[in-house]
Structure 1
């Protein structure tokens, strides 16, 4: 049976717990506490989900050079010490980042002997590079991950709020769209979720932001993590949260997408099996099944189509609800989980695995796709620019010799196919067409 790979590890949960117990720090500059007032482009229509491919954006990387005080978060453990280890299976290409946004990793060198460097999303520069890539390659925008354990931490919230400000500015500057993905992993306190959305509405004013994604006249929120067996949210809590986001007199009225297990419709697999969950799932405005790790080759992808996607599409279309399945380029978390090389690998096949998912979705008439993820090198799902030259003496998943921007190129081309601007193709076009007006 194909394993299901969660989007967080036990080590990350421990980090969230530690962060939530940290002492409060007095924030300095807080750009997220006021609406964005800088340059704005409007290339991508922010009034609809229809015809869009949107990437999950973690923004969770730190370095000791960024001033946040979190060390090499999501890059490695105890880096610079004798027992250091990396926790990423892919290495980013950092050649386009400004020198001041990079940090040397102690003890790691590139094959030419130069220091190995990584970036921090706490700094604006790298995030602006990422949103520029989205425009250049024709990617519509992002769902910004916001873990409840981090957002409610007096200390860690400074990081996630700064990343929000960075993403918001980048989407304005590059004409992309953004929306919140409120991730319930690592917590089960409904009031914390409500308080955070209240903060986002009252202080950040996300609903009034011109680049914040709306659908059917409502601000879009992806509420991720209800109904999974390994997340202890109850039916009662799920109903409470859904009612709040949809019906609260002041903070409700959102277009609510449920980020749920792929077996939500049948209550099998990793979905909770209590019958009450069936009504919970169907109370969302749209459903986004988490498919990463559910299939690893063409045969298992076809089984997912037959057992999951076809039935999902038929039911939700009849009910007038939305559907946003997940596409992922491949997978690997050997370093994160201390596995033997190749043990967790789902091969990318130079992009054919990724492309075939989009072709299947187009064939099913699906008009909105979630990409997991833009920047997650921890689990080997990143689609941003990746390096084929990696630190000496370390092991990484192979980039298979494709160009460093190959998955950005494919995502942009797949967006055109999903939207109907390019014909359905079951294999990667040669070459994939650049988006009109991309400047490439």
Structure 2
């Protein structure tokens, strides 16, 4: 574990730093012809009927591959509770003012969810715009892509720094996004579950804050676990607690155990996001063994590791199998954050035209588990997104560096990593044989 991803994840996944403090603003514009259609009785009834429709994915977590879903990009003027640029930049994105590395392929995003930046035009002459995650059309498109490419569903990231901000726009923003994700998951037959990122909490408030949020909001006002698309394992609603045992995350051994056992007593199936060195306490808080042992499923955070370590996956799997626990390894396409951290290398952990992520998937399939977590679906910030990205210089602004998919010398279509994730899902769940070579073409 390099630790670089962790410090970035601390900052952007809800620690309330410069970008996080700006809060996220998302577009409340639908891809249907007018916003008024969503406010009519007919529109409301249609959405209600859609939510009652059973999810085609029959969601569980065993034998499934979920992608982490941030839903945190924002734009000024998007009509959201926060209504300001965030995660793309603090203020209007412009040359020298950005906190993301990988430019999205905006040509495939709904026009209603795009907002003008301060960059020069793209290399192809089109305006340099960025999307807002508040857009109903954008969220719907993300889940439509998951369905199209055979990705089982999304782990909806819910940040400690948001849920502690009761009564503030950033929490309403998060609630609205996750309600839109529920609707999109139901519509497109994908599963979803809540993943609490404990960033932004403290040892003192962690347990009570998460408990209150689950009781009052997730199962209360939002009623997310009542959705036909909400992941249940063995009839139990799934919840993921990310940050257990990390040296730069809150939580004592006793507090962590109390929270896990509270969820279990509520009838939940609990996944834990833990350090890559969880078995040996490497780069982890000491003494967390009982915490890891209390989990139903363990998901060690592999992002930042530049190698593919078959032995790591094998040893994790062996220990968890012996303990009667499930294993959800994390795979990711690559990593870079030079636009956020001055002096950081460009293309720091290269994607190698998909081979880096594919070899991780091969190692996961070989270790014997049928489950995995893709980090992440939409994190353009650190260039870990599998969502459509700029293929080459024609799709990025002419006056600012951004990573493009051809950085390793191979031209890839912007949907390549979603297609790759779909192929990896089949190999991991056993519906396709293990292949050491990528089974999909660079361009569809």
TM-score (norm 2): 0.86
> How many angstroms apart in 2 are the aligned matches of 1:227 and 1:36?
40
> How many angstroms apart in 1 are the aligned matches of 2:128 and 2:357?
29
> How many angstroms apart in 2 are the aligned matches of 1:203 and 1:289?
31
The yes-or-no answer on 1:411 pairing with 2:424 is: no
8 Å contact 1:16–1:149 — kept in the other structure? no
Structure 2: gaps of 5 or more residues = 24-37, 40-44
The structure 2 residue matched to 1:383, chosen from 362, 382, 386, is 386
> How many angstroms apart in 2 are the aligned matches of 1:130 and 1:418?
22
The yes-or-no answer on 1:43 pairing with 2:69 is: no
> How many angstroms apart in 1 are the aligned matches of 2:372 and 2:228?
22
Q: Any residues of structure 2 matched to 1:4-403 within 5 Å, and which?
A: 4-6=4-6, 7-8=8-9, 10=11, 13-15=16-18, 18=21, 37-39=48-50, 40=53, 42-46=55-59, 48-68=60-80, 69-79=82-92, 85-153=97-165, 154-188=168-202, 189=205, 190-198=207-215, 199-247=217-265, 252-268=266-282, 270-273=283-286, 275=287, 277-294=288-305, 296=306, 300-302=307-309, 305-306=310-311, 308-342=312-346, 345-388=348-391, 389-400=395-406, 401-403=411-413
User: What is the aligned partner in structure 1 of residue 33 from structure 2?
Assistant: none
Query: How big is the shift at 1:79?
Result: 2.2
Query: How big is the shift at 1:398?
Result: 3.0
Identify the range of structure 1 (331-340 vs 370-379) with the bigger mean alpha-carbon deviation: 331-340
Query: How big is the shift at 1:36?
Result: 6.5
Note the alpha carbon deviations across 1:46-104, whole angstroms, 9 max, x for none.
Answer: 2x3222110000000000121123422111123267x8511111111122333221100
> How many angstroms apart in 2 are the aligned matches of 1:122 and 1:431?
33
> How many angstroms apart in 2 are the aligned matches of 1:430 and 1:204?
39
> How many angstroms apart in 1 are the aligned matches of 2:249 and 2:431?
39
Note the alpha carbon deviations across 1:233-289, whole angstroms, 9 max, x for none.
Answer: 211221221121112xxxx11000010101111112x2102x3x1111111111000
8 Å contact 1:50–1:368 — kept in the other structure? yes
Structure 1: gaps of 5 or more residues = 21-28, 435-440
8 Å contact 2:11–2:20 — kept in the other structure? no
Give the number of aligned pairs. 406
**Secondary structure at 2:148 match in 1:** helix
User: What is the aligned partner in structure 2 of residue 25 from structure 1?
Assistant: none
Query: How big is the shift at 1:394?
Result: 0.8
Note the alpha carbon deviations across 1:297-350, whole angstroms, 9 max, x for none.
Answer: xxx323xx32x32222111112211110100000011111123542x6101111
**Secondary structure at 1:129 match in 2:** helix
8 Å contact 1:286–1:324 — kept in the other structure? yes
Change (3 A) 1:197 1:354: same
Give the root-mean-square deviation of aligned CA atoms: 2.5
8 Å contact 2:133–2:177 — kept in the other structure? yes
> How many angstroms apart in 1 are the aligned matches of 2:92 and 2:443?
41
Change (3 A) 1:158 1:2: closer
TM-score (norm 1): 0.87
> How many angstroms apart in 2 are the aligned matches of 1:282 and 1:126?
39
Identify the range of structure 1 (348-357 vs 4-13) with the bigger mean alpha-carbon deviation: 4-13
